């Protein structure tokens, strides 16, 4: 799911990004609730944060006029910016990808690399 979200977002595909967020949110919610899956409390908190980011990104993508209400999050320098029109929620989605990767590492012991484009250095 994380990789599908990354590929859709970096392709600038809003409907596919919305579908990926929609598929991811129930799983993150279940992990955060701690009832269906038994995970450590720090992983539950990471899942809750990730779910909050996914819910907010879905809300903004469904109604771009709400873009001014996007939570101000710190940039994630190791993840490239998203292309338009997803640049409206770039830091939100990048922080979501970062927290989901952290959650995967917590649950699996490590996480595969995030499938994002590698920035080309300016000449």
The predicted-structure confidence for 57-102, as pLDDT tens digits, reads as follows 999 999 999 888 888 888 888 899 899 889 889 999 999 999 999 9
The pLDDT of residue 123: 56
Q: What is the mean pLDDT of residues 20-28?
A: 96
The pLDDT of residue 88: 86
- Report in angstroms the alpha-carbon separations of 74 from 16, 81, 96, 113, 121: 25, 12, 12, 21, 23
Domain ranges of the chain: 2-108
What average pLDDT does the chain have?
91
Q: Give, in degrees to the nearest 5, the angle at Cα 13 between 9 and 17.
A: 55
The pTM of the full predicted model, rounded to 2 decimals, is: 0.88
Q: Is the dihedral of CA 74, 80, 82, 83 positive or negative?
A: positive
Number of Cβ atoms within 10 Å of the Cβ of 11: 14
Whether 13 and 111 have beta carbons less than 8 Å apart is answered as no
Q: What is the mean pLDDT of residues 8-24?
A: 95
């Amino acid at each position: 799911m994380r990789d599908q979200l990354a590929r859709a977002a970096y392709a600038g595909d809003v409907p596919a990004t919305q579908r990926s967020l929609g598929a991811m949110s129930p799983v993150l919610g279940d992990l955060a609730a701690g009832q269906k899956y038994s995970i450590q409390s720090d992983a539950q908190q990471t899942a809750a944060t990730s779910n909050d980011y996914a819910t907010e990104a879905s809300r903004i993508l469904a109604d771009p006029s709400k873009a001014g209400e996007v939570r101000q999050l710190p940039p994630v320098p190791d993840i490239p910016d998203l292309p338009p029109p997803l640049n409206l929620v770039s830091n939100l989605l990048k922080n979501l990808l970062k927290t989901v990767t952290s959650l995967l590492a917590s649950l699996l012991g490590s996480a595969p690399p995030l499938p994002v484009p590698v920035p080309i250095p300016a000449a």
